[in-house]
Amino acid sequence: MPLTSLTKDETILRDSVRRFAQNKIAPLVREMDEAQKIDPALLPQLFELGILGIEVPEQYGGFGGSFMGAILAVEEISAVDPAVGVLVDVQNTLTVNALLRWGNEEQKKKYLPRMNTDTICSYALSEASSGSDAFSLKTQARRDGEDFILNGRKLWISNAAEANLFIVFANANPAAGYKGITAFMIERGTPGFQVGKKEDKLGIRASSTCELLLDDCRVPAANVLGEVGKGYKIAIETLNEGRIGIAAQMLGLAQGAWNYAARYSQEREQFGKPIASFQAVQFTLSEMAIEIEAARLMVYNAARMKDAGLPFVKEAAMAKHFVSQMAEKIASQAVEIFGGYGFVKDYPVEKLYRDAKIGKIYEGTSNMQLATISKLILAAR
């Protein structure tokens, strides 16, 4: 089987998510973008559909799906609304994956059933002074008996407004540098923990991006994810997987933009005939389709390699870099096919153009992907 082929179960999942996105999410997209908030009624529907814990094993109440299945769900949701797509992405590729790999049995029994049924989880690594240099984070954790006391501030945290569970990274031994970084699982409502300001963003506006405030936040040592001082490993490994998720989000965005542009080109008439009859438009749509298909092969291949237990870091970085560049270009071309209508909010490509920009920034900027790729390809020589 080629690495990019889909199993029967994955095909069924993809088709069901596609129908859901078109029927349930599409009518809400503009309203959610303007309100800068995901419609709360969507969340229980997403859980019911089973796509907020795709890889959760059956023993914890899940379906035990593949990573590839999660990638397909992110792609199909993002073709309609990348803001909802990133919620699905963070839940699956970052938080569920982190708990599956690093959680102990007690933590898995406690949290995985909730993450599959009613609990959004957020991943809190970034800070004001630690973006690309993630391990320079300033949030600290001090041991106090059977607990840790956390102090600091996190920024640009996706899903924070909807989340009831947070994976928060803090340094429990600053003298050890990055080897003091530790991951903690913190529930909303924990004293000393607060979700702060929500950012007013250019794109994916319905997706919440907030600051987190920790002021003498007491967290039981039992809530350490993995081991004390091993948080940097959790961050590295989950972000490698998360980059495939962002590539899938941008792939879905590009496909959605192409779908709108192709449909509009057959409806819009100039000089007495549809603009799709003009070779310039035909060639543009063809080149867009070629780039989208190339991107899809890269994303699916990286996901398949991850599922197969093969090294995939280079492929993930290549996919994230290429697809985020491609999505911005495709969204821009879709706006141009729409002409003046593409520049106004009455038509969906304007939003997709705004949404595309973040793909080159979060979960590793394009330059960081290039640094990773160059390191790996040169080491292989």
List Cα–Cα distances, 284 to 88, 130, 176, 336, in angstroms.
31, 40, 54, 10
Residue 31 appears among annotated catalytic residues: no
Structure-token match 């094993």, residue found? 57
User: What pTM, to 2 d.p., does this model score?
Assistant: 0.97
Surface-to-core class of residue 182, CB atoms within 10 Å of its CB (0-12 exposed, 13-18 middle, 19+ buried): buried
* pLDDT average, residue stretch 369-380: 96
Cα–Cα distances (Å) from 78 to 18, 75, 173, 356, in that order, read 10, 5, 39, 11
Phi and psi at residue 168, to the nearest 5°: -115, 130
Tens-digit pLDDT profile for residues 46-69: 999 999 999 999 999 999 999 999
Q: What is the per-residue pLDDT across 183-193, written as a single tens digit (0 to 9) for each?
A: 999 999 999 99
What are the backbone angles phi and psi of residue 233, rounded to the nearest 5°? -70, -40
Instruction: Give the pLDDT band of residue 2 (cuts 50, 70, 90).
Output: very low
Give the mean pLDDT of 93-111.
98
Asked whether the CA dihedral 271, 274, 277, 279 is positive or negative, the reply is positive
Contact 343, 350 (CB under 8 A): yes
Q: Which of 24, 134, 130 is nearest to 84 (CA)?
A: 24
Q: Considering only CA atoms, which of 352, 351, 363, 350 is closest in space to residue 319?
A: 363
Q: Tokens for 138? A: 């300033």
pLDDT tens profile 334-373: 999 999 999 999 999 999 999 999 999 999 999 999 999 9
Strands (E), 161-285: 165-171, 181-187, 193-198, 209-220, 224-225, 269-270, 273-274
372: Cβ contacts below 8 Å, ≥ 6 apart: 313, 314, 317, 364
Residue of 241, 291, 315, 363 marked active site: 363
Q: Enter the tokens of residue 229.
A: 């001082």
Domains of the chain listed by start with CATH number: 8-119 (1.10.540.10), 123-229 (2.40.110.10), 232-379 (1.20.140.10)
Of 29, 86, 5, the residue nearest 52 (C-alpha):
86
